[in-house]
Amino acid sequence: MTPTPPDDTRPLTGSDLDYGPAGDADGTRVVRAGLPAEEPYEPPLPGPVFAAHYHLPGEVEGAPYAYGRDANPTWTRLERAIADLEAPEDPEAEVVVFSSGMGAISAVLLSLTRPGQTVVLPCDGYNLLAALHERLEGFGVRVRTAPTGGDAQLDEVEGARLLWLETPSNPGLDVCDIRRLAQAAHEQGALVAVDNTLATPLGQRPLLLGADISVASGTKALTGHGDVLLGYVATRSPEVAAAVRAWRKTVGAIPGPMEAWLAHRSLATLEVRTRRQAGNALAVAEALAARPEVSDVRHPGLTDDPAHALASHQMSRYGCVVSFTLPDQAHANRFLARLRLVGDATSFGGVRSTAERRGRWGGDPVPEGFVRLSVGVEDSADLVRDIRRALDASAAPESGAVADGLGGGV
């Protein structure tokens, strides 16, 4: 089972940028995205601006900064940087940053729909979509659902206002054809939003594949250090951008300037982090697939994965998450407790590897022994060795707290 990674070095088609020519490769782009013009003796990335208000002479109209809930120079730089990554060829693309990924998701679903309209959601997506499903129906919005795999949502788009895709899906790692689904939805007059959290803009660019909106939790791989909560909405539509920006202001889902600055700082290493993580994840997935006690190993980079053929055409790298199933809950808990290099924690995309038995949260339609593993930037041989050792050690039940999953992890 030999993985075939896509070509991560292909040139981008971009517009002329302040810092360099069009077509800069991703590794160059992420280092300089959103930076202001160089000034003598000034830092390349200015520090965070802490301000609840600004000096505001005259009228408000046309003022770039008037009040801290509306805008902040630190957000502006981050928004420009992410826009350059999500749509490098389109200088008109806009990004609106939020205090969390759920803030961004909620802004799209709740600001762009009205009672009597229809939204199509994946039934196997991020588990808090279920809460938004209920909220939408409470507001009089009709909700249809279908799985991600096999482009099953295609059968539900007729008459819809908004089609929401999540690809690869979390936690099952199924993939759908963004271009095909977007075309079908647009024929129905529907907007198309894609949750791009797992792929990141360096792994997949939904706006270039026909989607109207790309949404992500910046908490995950975008920032990559497990120390920032952040979300964003990217779009080429001024109307969509205005709607979600107004929603952010109304509900106050604004990021702190320190969080925005930390996120921008972290972008500089996004290419090297995600490239290393993708390679490590493939090595881990191969090692897991060779184990008899492990079933249903999923990673889009594995050549025999059901999503591989589509992912290889749609994604430029396959991501850091591997999912698999152990025989039961107790077995999964024993495995997690015996890992040395992999922390027992939720979330994914960080530089340090983490894993969890996903069923402990409820809400995800997964077996009790299902494990979601986020692969970090550690040495791949060390990670594989640690995982094999933990699998060996967890093969048989033992007495005591460790066997019950109480002896390790967070």
| pTM above threshold 0.85 | yes
Give the span between the Cα atoms of 97 and 232, in whole angstroms: 4
Looking at the fold, whether 224 and 346 belong to one and the same domain comes out as no
Band the pLDDT of 398: cuts 50, 70, 90: low
Name the 3-class secondary structure at 148.
Answer: coil
**Which residues face 144 on adjacent strands?**
120
Residues 344-376 have pLDDT tens digits of: 999 999 999 999 999 898 878 899 999 999 999
DSSP 408: S
Q: In angstroms, what CA-CA distances link 174 with 168, 306, 323? A: 5, 8, 11
Domain endpoint, select from 267, 287, 312: 267
Q: Are the C-beta atoms of 244 and 113 separated by less than 8 Å? A: no
Q: In angstroms, what CA-CA distances link 355 with 322, 325, 346, 390? A: 9, 12, 7, 12
Q: pLDDT at residue 15 above 90?
A: no
Q: Are the C-beta atoms of 320 and 409 separated by less than 8 Å? A: no
Q: Which domain holds residue 316?
A: 271-404
In a domain? residue 16: no
In a domain? residue 8: no
Judging by beta carbons within 10 Å of its beta carbon (0-12, 13-18, 19+), is residue 134 exposed, middle or buried? Answer: exposed
Q: pLDDT at residue 402 above 90?
A: no
Query: How many residues in the chain?
Result: 410
Q: pLDDT at residue 409 above 50?
A: no
Provide the CATH number for the domain around residue 110: 3.40.640.10
Looking at the fold, whether 275 and 193 belong to one and the same domain comes out as no
In a domain? residue 74: yes
Looking at the fold, whether 222 and 259 belong to one and the same domain comes out as yes
Looking at the fold, whether 219 and 234 belong to one and the same domain comes out as yes
DSSP 66-131: SBTTT--HHHHHHHHHHHHHH-TT-TT-EEEEESSHHHHHHHHHHHS--TT-EEEEETTS-TTHHH
In a domain? residue 184: yes
In a domain? residue 381: yes
Residues 159-196 have pLDDT tens digits of: 999 999 999 999 999 999 999 999 999 999 999 999 99
Domain count of the fold of the chain: 2
